[in-house]
Amino acid sequence: MIKVGDRLPEVTFMAGTAEGPKPMSTADVFAGKTVALFAVPGAFTPTCSAKHLPSFRDKAKDLSAKGVDQIACVSVNDAFVMGAWGKDQNVGDAMLMLGDGNGEFTKKIGLELDGSRFGMGARSQRYSMLVKDGVVQKLNVEEGGEYKVSSAEYLLGQI
């Protein structure tokens, strides 16, 4: 599993944008920036939609005031789903909606979740991290089924 001090692996995400899917490399997202990255098990799922994503959307200005240049949400969903979820959640330009459709990023950082018993297949664990120029500074991984340490409020308390 990835840990504080590790560099994020190079992958290509598919960002869900108003113009459609846009390929973005790890370098495109993280190089030279401070990024608050959070991952959810699935777009449009209850906790992700009611609590996790809204915490980052609603705290975007507070994160920016603490030096965060970009907020990024990643999920093992395709870019179309991520784009639609971002629109549904009114994120606007407040965050990047990154599709990790094949779970490549999630596998490489060792934060996979087996959601097959719920009909979801391989997904990402719920987490948040603070990344500076591609290097993990803070990492908060939830225990199974929890939503405590991956919120924007918790991350804000660490920076």
Among the listed residues 138, 151, 137, 159, the one whose alpha carbon sits nearest the alpha carbon of residue 59: 151
Please report whether residue 6 resides in a domain.
no
Q: Is residue 74 over pLDDT 90? A: yes
Task: Count how many domains the chain has.
Answer: 1
Instruction: Name the pLDDT band for 20 (thresholds 50, 70, 90).
Output: confident
Q: How many CB atoms lie within 10 A of CB 46?
A: 9
The pLDDT of 25-31, averaged and rounded, is 97
Please report whether residue 1 resides in a domain.
no
Residue 17 domain boundaries: 12-156
Q: Is residue 62 over pLDDT 80? A: yes
For every residue of the chain, which 3-state class applies, written as one string? CCCCCCECCCCEEEEEECCEEEEEEHHHHHCCCEEEEEEECCCCCHHHHHHHHHHHHHCHHHHHHCCCCEEEEEECCCHHHHHHHHHHCCCCCCCEEEECCCCHHHHHCCCEEECHHHCCCEEECCEEEEEECCEEEEEEECCCCCCCCCCHHHHHCCC
**Active-site residue (options: 14, 43, 48, 155):** 48
Please report whether residue 42 resides in a domain.
yes
What per-residue confidence (pLDDT) applies to 101?
A: 92
Q: Is residue 33 over pLDDT 90? A: yes
CATH of the domain at 29: 3.40.30.10
What's the pTM? 0.93
Please report whether residue 37 resides in a domain.
yes
Active site (annotated) includes residue 73: no
